[in-house]
């Protein structure tokens, strides 16, 4: 495949105003996507909106951090235009679907350059914003979703032009790797048979209460099951604690860990037997991608993005949202399946479809198709 000059642009501005080095670490998908595309042989430049300006060169990728204007769009600033001209991109990859003004400016700057928009859990805009939103998307040549089915939410209200190319590409990848389970358990203190890991917010969308119901029901068959919960935002924490306190069996088997450093998640996933998620909606799921990278057996809800990441359930188990009985059955099945051979099979799936190599190849193919169609 012929190398291309790729410009990736993120107009998302960090509200925490982190320095470029910290931002590249904390927003790991920013670097993982760029690195994947560069590893496929492309020349990659990244422009990231940042309240702290800076430049970083890493793994062959140039990252330029540019302050967004107080009003208006970053793409209209002189600094952006200079960097854009210097990059001479053959394709522009924009993170997010909601930056219509910036995309229209990009189109004016380079009328013949293909533009790919990447979905990052975007939602259809409110009615009064849809006219501008449509214009911005219409200025692009293609759009990528983790699962093609996710495009339907935008196609139904006529937000995606009929001639717009839609690509199914994972939202990101992970640098996590499998490891020895016993060593990981010794380091982390995790235990259980099976040892089940939750990594996600405690909110309505993630639905921890249904997960607790399913776990409680599964204890009849899996009395030694232990559920370990890592979470950041926790608007349902009081309800979760109340549910656990009201069920003696849950009180014995559920451990609320809380927030842990991202790097620590890798060891926790190596130590666990099963990864569980109850999401009703996900643009993608970084935690599921990381679980698959470590070979951890997933028991996740049957929604488009999670279905796509597991190869339509080729690895792990899918269960209907909000269905505690189905979760119970999936957990019992998972307890019988988790083993070294299964972890190798899951990691093989990750290598084939979700790895840095796979992600770089799929974006490169999309870029080439868009360039050939111009």
Are 5-171+356-373 and 181-353 the same fold in CATH? yes
Angle at 251 between CA 192 and CA 335, to 5 degrees: 30
Instruction: Indicate the class that CATH gives domain 181-353.
Output: alpha beta
Instruction: Indicate the class that CATH gives domain 5-171+356-373.
Output: alpha beta
pLDDT tens-digit readout, 362-374: 999 999 999 999 8
For the record, the structure tokens of 199 come out as 């990594």
Q: Is the pLDDT of residue 321 over 80?
A: yes
Q: Is the pLDDT of residue 235 over 80?
A: yes
What does DSSP assign to residue 39? H
Query: In the chain, what are the domain boundaries?
Result: 5-171+356-373, 181-353
For the record, the structure tokens of 45 come out as 């430049």
pTM beyond 0.85: the answer is yes
Show contacts of 337-345: CB within 8 Å, 24+ apart: 337/297, 338/194, 338/273, 338/274, 338/297, 342/295, 342/297, 343/178, 343/294, 343/295, 343/296, 343/297, 344/178, 344/295, 345/315
Question: How far apart are the C-alpha atoms of 69 and 279, rounded to whole Å?
Answer: 36
Three-state DSSP class for residue 264: helix
Pairing of strands 317-319, 297-301: parallel
Question: How far apart are the C-alpha atoms of 314 and 40, rounded to whole Å?
Answer: 26
pLDDT tens-digit readout, 216-227: 999 999 999 999
Determine contact, residues 144/119, Cβ cutoff 8 Å.
Answer: yes
């Amino acid at each position: 495949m012929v190398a291309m000059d790729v410009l990736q642009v993120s107009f998302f501005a960090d509200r925490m105003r982190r320095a470029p080095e910290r931002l590249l670490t904390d927003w790991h998908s920013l670097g993982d996507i760029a690195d994947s595309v560069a590893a496929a042989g492309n020349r990659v430049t990244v422009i990231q909106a940042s309240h702290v300006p800076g430049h970083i060169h890493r793994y062959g990728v140039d990252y330029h951090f540019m302050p967004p204007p107080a009003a208006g769009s970053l793409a209209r600033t002189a600094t952006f235009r200079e960097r854009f001209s210097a990059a001479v991109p053959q394709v522009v990859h924009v993170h997010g679907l909601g930056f219509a003004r910036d995309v229209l400016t990009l189109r004016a700057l380079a009328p013949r350059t293909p533009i790919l928009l990447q979905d990052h859990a975007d939602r259809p805009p409110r009615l009064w914003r849809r006219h501008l939103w449509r214009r911005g998307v219409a200025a692009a040549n293609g759009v990528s979703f983790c699962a093609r089915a996710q495009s339907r939410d935008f196609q139904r209200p006529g937000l995606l032009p009929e001639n717009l190319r839609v690509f199914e590409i994972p939202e990101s990848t992970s640098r996590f790797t499998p490891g020895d389970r016993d060593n990981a358990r010794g380091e982390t203190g995790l235990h259980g048979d099976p040892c089940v890991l939750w990594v996600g917010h405690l909110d309505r969308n993630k639905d921890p209460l249904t997960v607790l119901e399913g776990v409680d029901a599964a204890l009849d068959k899996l009395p030694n099951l232990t559920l370990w919960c890592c979470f950041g935002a926790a608007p349902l924490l009081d309800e979760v604690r109340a549910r656990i306190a009201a069920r003696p069996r849950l009180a014995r088997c559920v451990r609320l860990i809380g927030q842990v450093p991202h790097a620590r998640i890798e060891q926790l996933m190596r130590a666990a037997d099963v990864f569980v998620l109850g999401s009703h909606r996900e643009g993608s799921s970084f935690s599921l991608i990381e679980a698959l990278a470590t070979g951890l057996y997933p028991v996740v809800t049957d929604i488009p993005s999670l279905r796509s990441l597991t190869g339509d359930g080729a690895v792990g188990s899918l269960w209907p949202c909000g269905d505690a009985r189905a979760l119970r059955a999936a957990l019992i099945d998972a307890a019988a399946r988790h083993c070294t051979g299964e972890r190798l099979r899951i990691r093989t799936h990750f290598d084939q479809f979700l790895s840095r190599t796979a992600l770089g190849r799929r974006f490169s193919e999309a870029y080439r198709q868009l360039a050939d169609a111009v």
